[in-house]
Amino acid sequence: MRKKRDSTAEALEKLAEAPARERYVLRLYVTGMTARSTEAFAAIKAICDEHLQGRYDLEVIDIYQHPQLAQDEQIIAVPTLVKKLPAPLRRFIGNLSNEERVLLGLDLRRKSQTG
């Protein structure tokens, strides 16, 4: 009976650690080097560097240079951050400077942790 409890506890610990090891794939859609674009990039880069150290890929896509990518992703406003992985897919439109909102949307914080 004790072995079963130990293996169950180990399984639960592994499940709890899984989100901490997941790799995030993010795409940030911007329009050139505008102030809003650079602010959005700086904000999401700071959040990723602090909370996803080494566990993220961030691709910045300028919709002026790659309009087809924006059309394929149905980007209607910029800046837009798209979380491709881990599932579920999520989109953040506009100002990315609200760190708590972004962390909650990326599933890096739970509502109960936001205070």
Does residue 44 contact residue 81 with C-beta atoms inside 8 Å? Answer: yes
pLDDT tens, position by position, 59-97: 999 999 999 999 999 999 999 999 999 999 999 999 899
Does residue 85 contact residue 24 with C-beta atoms inside 8 Å? Answer: yes
Q: For the chain, what percent of residues have pLDDT higher than 90?
A: 73
Distance of alpha carbon 68 from alpha carbon 66, whole angstroms: 6
Does residue 23 contact residue 83 with C-beta atoms inside 8 Å? Answer: no
Amino acid occupying residue 72: D
- Confidence check: pLDDT of 102 > 70: yes
Domains recognised in the chain with CATH numbers: 22-113 (3.40.30.10)
Question: The sheet that has 56-62: what strands, in order across it?
Answer: 56-62, 24-30, 80-85, 90-93
